[in-house]
């Protein structure tokens, strides 16, 4: 067998072996958990903003969303791993590596932009742009979901489009209501996504 042909066939075999990960380890419950956590986070945001000064509320709200991130990420990792173990799949694979490399840059960009906005407002007496933070989160997350959809189920791309559209609408119309848009998007969209995935793919 020619080396080039053997290499192509091995590549095809690896792709066929990795393809089940793309479709069979998505967890609808993880999406629901992420949505419920986001709903709680947005509600706490609104409450803390009503009882604290803006200078205090911004740090409390940042901690709230860090907590939301850990709850959502923990749910995704735990439930995905549970499904993988049932199918005797490895913890780490080329698909996961590509997904991690896809998620990394938008996440760092959103975190960096958030830090810049908070720094300019809190330390430099700049404008309060909390509404712009929520816009950037939705846009970067939407782009991430769209890109991850290349390796995941098609519902992930629909989720990405929904976040991008909501981010743009928020930038134009609803920057003054960041808590509501965070509740609708990260809360509502994730719950709907989780229910659809649960019905169509199980888990």
In a domain, 171, yes or no: yes
Examine residue 135 and state whether it is found in any structural domain, yes or no. yes
d(CA 88, CA 145): 26
What is the per-residue pLDDT for 195?
94
pLDDT at 20: 44
Whether residue 16 lies inside any domain: the answer is no
pLDDT in tens, the chain (203 residues): 566 666 666 665 555 455 544 545 678 899 999 999 999 999 998 899 889 888 888 889 889 999 999 999 998 888 888 877 877 777 777 777 888 888 899 999 999 999 998 888 877 777 777 778 899 999 999 999 999 888 888 899 999 999 999 999 999 988 778 888 989 999 999 999 999 998 887 76
- 99 belongs to a structural domain: yes
The per-residue pLDDT for 87 is 74
Q: Specify the pLDDT at position 130.
A: 75
Q: What is the largest CA-CA distance in the chain?
A: 73
- Report if residue 140 sits inside a domain: yes
- The residues near 9 (Cβ < 8 Å, ≥ 6 apart) are none
Residue 5 lies in a domain: no
Range of the domain at 36: 27-201
Does residue 123 sit in helix, strand or coil?
Answer: coil
pLDDT of residue 16: 47
CA distances from 174 to 49, 133, 177, 183 (A): 17, 12, 5, 13
Centroid of chain to Cα 142: 8
Distance of CA 41 to the CA centre of its chain: 14
What's the pTM value of the predicted model, to 2 decimals? 0.82
Q: Does 40 fall in a domain?
A: yes
Q: Domain count of the chain?
A: 1
Residue 2 lies in a domain: no
Q: For residue 8, what pLDDT is reported?
A: 66
């Amino acid at each position: 067998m020619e080396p080039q042909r053997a290499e192509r066939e091995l590549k095809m075999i690896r792709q066929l072996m990795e393809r089940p990960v793309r479709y069979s380890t998505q967890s609808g419950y993880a999406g629901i958990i992420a949505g419920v956590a986001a709903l709680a986070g947005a509600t706490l945001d609104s409450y803390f903003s009503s009882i604290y000064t803006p200078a205090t509320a911004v740090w409390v709200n940042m901690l709230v969303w860090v907590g939301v991130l850990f709850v959502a990420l923990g749910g995704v990792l735990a439930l995905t791993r549970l499904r993988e173990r049932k199918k005797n799949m490895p913890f780490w694979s080329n698909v996961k590596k590509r997904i991690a490399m896809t998620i990394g840059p938008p996440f760092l960009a959103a975190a960096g932009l958030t830090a810049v906005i908070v720094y300019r407002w809190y330390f430099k007496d700049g404008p309060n742009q909390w509404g712009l933070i929520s816009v950037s989160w939705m846009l970067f997350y939407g782009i991430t979901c769209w890109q991850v959809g290349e390796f995941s189920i098609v519902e992930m791309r629909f989720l990405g489009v929904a976040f991008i559209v909501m981010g743009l609408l928020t930038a134009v119309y609803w920057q003054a209501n960041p808590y509501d848009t965070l509740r609708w998007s990260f809360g509502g969209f994730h719950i709907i996504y989780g229910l659809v995935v649960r019905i169509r793919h199980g888990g």
